[in-house]
């Protein structure tokens, strides 16, 4: 039985993610309680805002050791959304340089486009097959809103790319760990399909 | 490729969805939650929800209508965010960080600020620092006075000291994520966007610009998309009197080869 735990560090749009998961009829809790993290089958780290501020809040509010045990050792499916994806990096360069969780090697850098933030619907190009794409039709549009992107060291982990001024990683996957730069909870039909696929992992 | 956006604006006055003309005349046209559900089903890209009530009263005390009115603005937003899975911008009466936080907490993704930013442009800096630039939409109401574009505040009732270019520079410099440009002169008239105004704004800033004010037919969206560099076109009145309006307008633009998301009807 799927049990979702949405981590809440105080700057994510946890409500929106929760709304969608409830709508899809899954059991879901918003919690940072180590017991809830342990009981869950799937863990989501949502995110809105700047890297440094978000990382500080994560350090203050989330039991990182416990989380690492569940995800890196027990291999529970984990989804990081937007800043939640970026936080898995080694470092981030938004308003100074900050250390991230360091689960995935790479840097979060400012995008090169002339017009920023990158706001709106954009499509993804699949680079590597993954179960999370199952059932998506040819129009793979998702809703993005960000000015920074995650530049992964190991490009083999990039499963989808998106273009905005430059090509950047819009989805990465390292076994049970997935990061998406867009907001599936705001991406209507395509977002729902992708989130359902994640929850079926 | 990133698509340009079509955004319905929902004007809410005292708990009811209204139509606006010249910032002066308002007509009740229905239940805000149901309306949003429909827009969502018609494949809207995003929503802008503006509270234009002059006071904090959201119940017009009518029980002769066949639906229940939701009197509290934040409750309306909360209900709306449960039935739609697209980005929602909420504006109106945001004077401080707490006002913004309250709206984000009930499901808004972005907040739109108008008068408070004119009175104190540093408010934009504080909002961007606290919630990130991507969260901050600055709404700018513009009126032509003595052949100049002037910025007005308080729902078009107060003329500020700012002229357009000066104010746009400040807004961008202080960290806004988007600018919503509304032409008071064209509000509710359906005669097309003020393309000259839009070009002046997009020429002066590097953040996405949303056009508003004047759309009366699908062609007007097309004009703004082909003749200006706006990232999004928005409108209110035009969407309320046609079934599947969003879907049909997107279909029109898609067939004209505009770079927008493929029109789709969504079951929710």
B267 located within any domain: no
Question: Does the annotation mark A169 as catalytic?
Answer: no
B205 located within any domain: yes
Residue of B nearest to A51 (CA): B132
The per-residue DSSP string of A4-71 comes to EEE---SSS-HHHHHHHHHHTT-EEEE---HHHHHH-SEEEE---S-HHHHHHHHHHHS-HHHHHIII
Facing residue for A116 by CB, picked from B5, B206, B266: B206
Question: Does the annotation mark A118 as catalytic?
Answer: no
Residue of B nearest to A125 (CA): B1
Name the more confident of B161 and B67.
B161
Give tens-digit pLDDT for A152-182: 999 999 999 999 999 999 999 999 999 999 9
- Kindly provide the ipTM of the predicted complex, given to two decimals: 0.89
* Cβ–Cβ below 8 Å for A191 and B264: no
Give tens-digit pLDDT for A39-70: 999 999 998 777 888 899 999 999 999 999 99
Per DSSP, what are the bridge partners of residue A144? A120
Per DSSP, what are the bridge partners of residue A166? A164
Q: Specify whether the CB–CB gap between B117 and B97 falls below 8 A.
A: no
What CATH number did the domain enclosing A143 receive?
3.40.50.880
Tell me how many domains chain A contains: 1
pLDDT of residue B58: 47
Exposure string over B61-87, b if 16+ CB within 10 A, otherwise e? eeeeeeeebbeebbebbbbbbbebbbb
Angle, CA of B11, B210 and B254, to the nearest 5°: 100
B264 located within any domain: no
Facing residue for B85 by CB, picked from A118, A122, A188: A188
- Range of A189's domain? 3-199
Tell me how many domains chain B contains: 1
- Range of B127's domain? 5-255
Closest CA to A83 of A52, A111, A115: A52
What CATH number did the domain enclosing B193 receive?
3.20.20.70
Residue of B nearest to A187 (CA): B86
pTM over the 0.90 mark:
yes
Residues 6+ apart with CB under 8 A from A128: A156, A158, A159, A160, A173
B268 located within any domain: no
């Amino acid at each position: 039985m799927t049990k979702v735990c949405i981590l809440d560090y105080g700057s994510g749009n946890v409500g929106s993610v929760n709304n969608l998961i409830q709508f899809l009829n899954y059991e879901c809790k918003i919690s940072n309680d180590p017991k809830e993290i342990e009981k869950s089958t799937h863990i989501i780290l949502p995110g809105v805002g700047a890297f440094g501020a978000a990382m500080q809040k994560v350090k203050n509010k989330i039991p990182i050791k416990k989380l690492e045990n569940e995800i890196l050792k027990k291999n529970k499916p984990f989804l990081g959304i937007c800043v939640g994806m970026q936080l898995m990096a080694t470092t981030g360069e938004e308003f100074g340089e900050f250390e991230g969780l360091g689960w995935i090697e790479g840097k979060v850098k400012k995008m090169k486009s002339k017009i920023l933030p990158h706001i709106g619907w954009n499509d993804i190009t699949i680079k590597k097959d993954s179960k999370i794409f199952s059932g998506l039709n040819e129009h793979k549009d998702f809703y993005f809103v960000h000015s920074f992107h995650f530049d992964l060291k190991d490009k083999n982990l990039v499963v989808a790319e998106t273009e905005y001024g430059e090509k950047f990683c819009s989805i990465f996957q390292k076994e049970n760990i997935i990061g998406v730069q867009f907001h599936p909870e705001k991406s209507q039909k395509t977002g729902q399909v992708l989130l359902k696929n994640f929850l079926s992992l | 490729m990133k698509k340009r956006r079509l955004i319905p604006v929902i004007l809410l006055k005292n708990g009811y969805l209204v139509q606006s003309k010249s910032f002066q005349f308002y007509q009740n046209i229905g239940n805000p939650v149901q309306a949003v559900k429909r827009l969502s089903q018609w494949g809207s890209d995003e929503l802008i929800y503006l509270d234009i009530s002059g006071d904090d009263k959201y119940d017009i005390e009518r029980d002769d209508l066949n639906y229940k009115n939701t009197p509290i603005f934040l409750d309306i937003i909360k209900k709306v965010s449960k039935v739609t899975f697209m980005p929602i911008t909420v504006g109106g009466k945001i004077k401080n960080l707490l006002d913004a936080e309250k709206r984000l907490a009930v499901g808004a993704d972005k907040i739109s600020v108008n008068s408070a930013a004119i009175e104190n442009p540093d408010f934009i800096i504080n909002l961007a620092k606290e919630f990130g630039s991507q969260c901050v939409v600055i709404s700018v109401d513009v009126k032509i006075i003595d052949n100049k574009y002037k910025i007005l505040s308080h729902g078009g009732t107060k003329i500020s000291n700012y002229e357009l270019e000066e104010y746009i520079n400040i807004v961008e410099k202080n960290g806004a994520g988007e600018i919503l440009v509304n032409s008071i002169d064209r509000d509710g008239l359906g005669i097309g966007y003020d393309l000259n105004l839009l070009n002046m704004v997009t020429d002066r800033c590097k953040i996405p610009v949303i056009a508003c004010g004047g759309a009366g037919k699908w062609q007007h969206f097309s004009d703004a998309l082909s003749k200006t560099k706006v990232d999004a076109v928005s409108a209110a009145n035009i969407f309320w009197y046609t079934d599947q309006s969003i879907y049909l307008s997107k279909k029109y633009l898609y067939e004209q080869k505009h770079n927008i998301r493929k029109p789709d009807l969504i079951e929710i």
